[in-house]
Amino acid sequence: MEGDSVTLNTGVQTNQQDRIKWYYNDTRIAQINRDQSKICTDVQCNNDTERFRDRLKLDHQTGSLTITDTRNTDSGVYKLKIISSSTYSDKIFSVSVTDVSAAEREVKRKEGESVTLYTGVIKNTNYFIMWDFNNTLIAEINGDQSKICTDVQCDERLRDRLKLDHQTGSLIIMNTRNTDSGEYKLQISNRRFSII
């Protein structure tokens, strides 16, 4: 959500690595050297780049990157490059920042129309996605496996009218009815984070 902080974890200790570099959409935004003689963030790494001005923090022990006071313009792909004398590895993080009004949006449809509730992400096979309707689990995706609730679980209200978009995890409700009104909650999680 806008205004929150997010930490992208390296999963390493900097004393075990030579260099750690962070990129946002292929522009270097942060770097730390093994001896920490050169630590830069945003403006120090790139002249005239002020997108993250004073909002990036590097953990000197792990090289993890924290973005404070997030904005929806911070959404995008972050790439981590870890370089040591014997190995080289990459990690990619997809960050989606939503403003409060978009996250708590009210969707209105006429009966009989379809509605899609968007996740705002491209599904990664490591993501676990769950949809609840009025605190009842109605759909989930875990890796390549997906499940839509049974008639008993849904009290037959949503029977044969739910679909999941396997690229994004978005939920599609077809042939909407008045009884479909209520609160739908989305939870996206993996080993490193959980978003509701």
DSSP assignment of 25-53, as one string?
TTEEEEEEETTSS-EEEGGGTSTT--TTT
Distance CA 136, CA 80 (A): 38
pTM of the model: 0.51
Report, as an integer, the average pLDDT of 96-119: 71
Tens digit of pLDDT for each residue in 25-75? 888 888 888 666 666 777 667 666 677 888 888 888 888 889 888 888 888
CA dihedral 141, 120, 69, 10 (to 10 degrees): 50
Classify 172 as helix, strand or coil. Answer: strand
Confidence of residue 81 (pLDDT cuts 50, 70, 90): very high
Beta carbons within 8 Å of 46's beta carbon, 6+ residues apart: 27, 28, 29
Residues listed for the chain: 196
